[in-house]
Structure 1
């Protein structure tokens, strides 16, 4: 299937069929109406990246260009929220997503259930697809239903006041698109998401009825070689350590991890598992973007660079899995994480060299 507004298709998995209950208006005015919604999914991405792909596609953009052309690595904040959609950029998501695009990403925090519903309904009326924060425990279509508490995101695509039910879209496996009673979604959005031991990674922080507003403030840039070359040079400079972020910050994090584990036990390892997911996802998206740009522009060294970036993405797996299984022997797990971390850092350096090489030679 061809992505709306995209010069080339983004691979999707045909999971859903039938019409989407929303027509592009407001900030999406002029976009081609979406008549079906195949589910895009990538194993390396969290619900945050997957949902953004769908919303950007609805807006007529090539989501792979928007999410994959920029490549950032943020310093890890002290407060690492235990939710699937944690991102080290915090509320400033636009500094990591749509870096070279006129894109606004804004979190809203309604005070109560009524305000939460009213804001979502108003957004839908304006052509916005709200991405809402939920606790999987209360959602009948999630495997965690009445079993595991975990902070998650899904999209609301419509609301029917006659039946008091929303239409929702959740592309994360097992994937669901269909109705959800208003009171069920409200319960999930207002949940305390208690840390009851059911999920060591994504429980302990309530959704607080948050929802993410995505606005396209202008046309998507044309992905010319001049535009891309400037973007890639900026990416390399950022990853090399602009303003305390980038590889120096990551290297310092791995250096400090054994001391943190000695002082706190397994808690820093659980944080490492969470912070690795956005970094892994964004490297994977950048790799896919480079491969597609190589095909479109006829520059084979971009494909080689994409492969090097893909190896970075997969190198995060060793870091995250070693951290995930560290509760029994935290010190040994920390040693393994640091070892995998050194491999990861070498992979980043190799990827940056490959990208720099691709800038000057076809």
Structure 2
């Protein structure tokens, strides 16, 4: 593991060596083995709670991660559904997260207001993810501990405004006093150094990590990601105003056709967007069907490697970027 190169409010808050967070990448993708590898490499990862609706299985994932990290802190991704009863469905998982002493949560979706009291009482740090700075103001007023702002380059849900990560990285630290994490299209150390230089405290990665050796997805899919150049994604579900950047596969093309036709009834989309399709794709390696989160940062995913090797390359790259800045400023 590389020595610490940066010290930020996020590294201090989470007790991690490097300001690198790896966001939840969907049900049955960000599991204990992968999250533990991220933590052991000096970053912070998040087990996706939605992947384990069975309480006993979810609890076992948390305990497995704690065992693999030798007791180091790790995170959980909590998706707060905007549909009726979304918070109610989270209550059991919230209790388990609190009982198992999880260090932090990455919340996304609807407002975290309803779940904050439970998390605060348990001493769990809350990093709320938003797709635009305007939403970060609301999260800050609610009292979250940090805000993750993702740009239009992110695989997954970039929001409806199409604001690029470069703009988010420069603007968010000016507007929000809380620790800021920037995600979307990030996969190199140069971007890490630049993001910190603009005032943020850490970066969040997803698509870049699809080739992590510890990630439990099919080798054929990882090989496909390695071959990708970042141009293979498309934003769909615009008709539902639930923009989703995914691999441009058969399911995505069907959803894009519904968008183009002006469809707004979720039942028309349901056959193409069900989570079981994505789970099957990751397990089988056949990526034709399913909403598979996929962003342009796959261009940096040049080979299947351990998480620690990916981090090491990023940090070496960041160090070179700092040296270049020193040379340009005449300080080297």
- In the superposition, the TM-score normalised over structure 2's length comes to 0.29
- In the superposition, the TM-score normalised over structure 1's length comes to 0.27
